[in-house]
Structures are given as C-alpha cells and as structure tokens.
Chains A and B, each alone.
Chain A
C-alpha cells in the first residue's frame, strides 16, 4: 500500500522569498517520488523525480527536493519565488513492488505576492 500527504493545501509567499512545499509518503516498497506542477486549466508537467539515485534532486525552474527516508518526506523547495511559480503542485508516489500505479497527493496551491 502507498499514500501521499501534502501537508499544506495553500502556501503563500512573497516574490523573491523561499518556497517550501511539504510532502510525506508511505510505501511498502522502494518508492519513486515525483513533483508535478499544474497551471490553471492546463495539464500537469513534471518538475522533478526521485528514483533511488541521489537523494537531492534538482528539477526545472530552480526547484529541488530532498528524499529523506528516515522522515518519509520529499519536500519541494526553491530559493526565490517568482510570480510565474503561482500554480498547483502535486506530490506523487509510485512503488516498484505490486502495482506501480501512481498515488497523488491532494495538491498544494502556491500563491506568490508581488
């Protein structure tokens, strides 16, 4: 069994300040973890993924995430928010054992103030 919890439904930051979107997961098998971004009325786009290589993963648009097995976390960060980062973000887990079908978190809405 696997599950994902995104700890904040909304995160509000000012432009130029750091971004932290929190994600905890559970999985009975070695997980693969993903962050996707969705702008209004659009499809989802992959930001980054972890698949058991380096625990610090760098993605597009300056985002990165760190896999912490002991904390079962995969938080998404960015040093400096830009107005264009305002969107919905989804954390996703997929496991190599059993069904690989991904499980989505409920999403975090990132609001960026000028």
Chain B
C-alpha cells in the first residue's frame, strides 16, 4: 500500500531545542517537499528536493534544515533559530514534473511550550 507518512502526529518542543520531523514515502517519487501551514496563510514552502543528496531552499527556509540521504526519506529539523515554530507541517512527494500531482502526508503539529 503506497503512501507518504509523517511522524510524530503531535510534537512539543521547549524553547531552545532542535526537533526533527520525519517524512517517508514508498511511492518511488524523486521530488519531496516540506511546507508550513499557519491559520489563514495557506501553505508556504520551506525546502524541496528533486533528487537524492540535493535540496533547495523554499520561501521560508530560515531556521530549518533538511537532508536527503535516501530517496524515501526527507527529514526536517526545526532549529532553535526558528523564532516562531508553532505550526502545522506538511510533507509531500511527487514525480518531479509539472503535470503530476503531489501526494501529502497527514502532517505534524508542532507546539513550542
């Protein structure tokens, strides 16, 4: 059963801590993406990767880091440099061209205590 998974579903972080959000896909997709969603602001692109061992910054990359060591995995680290990290984070994957849709994971809700 192919799909894209994210873990954990809920994550709580103390100020000053780094946290890592997991994203895994078994769809054999080349491209993977991380988005941040805040109420009333739609989706904002954090980072994307079109191929293993390569990734590019999106519109709001400051305070975040990623890696793409395997095709199936694209973890996102929210660092202490991200001043307002409380948000809903969505991971997506696609075949990596303009006419194929993205498949989204169920999301991780991060709350800073």
A interface residues, Cβ below 8 angstroms from B = 9, 31-32, 34, 36, 41-46, 49, 51-52, 90, 94-96, 100-102, 104-107
- Contact call A44/B90, Cβ cutoff below 8 A: yes
- Give complex CA distance A61, B42 in Å: 23
Contact with A along B70-109 (1 / 0, CB 8 A): 0000000000000000001010100011110111111101
Give 12 pairs: A residue, B residue, CB < 8 Å, sorted on A: A32-B98, A41-B107, A43-B90, A43-B106, A46-B101, A51-B99, A94-B98, A94-B99, A95-B98, A96-B98, A100-B96, A100-B97
Q: What does DSSP make chain B's interface, helix, strand, loop or mixed?
A: loop
Which chain A residue lies CB-closest to B37? A38
B43 in contact (CB, < 8 A): yes
- How many pairs, one residue from A and one from B, have CB atoms within 8 Å of each other in the complex? 50
Query: Contacts A51-B99, A95-B98; is A106 near B41 (CB within 8 Å)?
Result: yes
Contacts A90-B43, A104-B42 hold; do A43 and B107 have CB atoms under 8 A apart? yes
> Which residues of B are interface residues toward A (Cβ below 8 A)?
40-43, 45, 48, 88, 90, 92, 96-99, 101-107, 109
Contact call B102/A102, Cβ cutoff below 8 A = yes
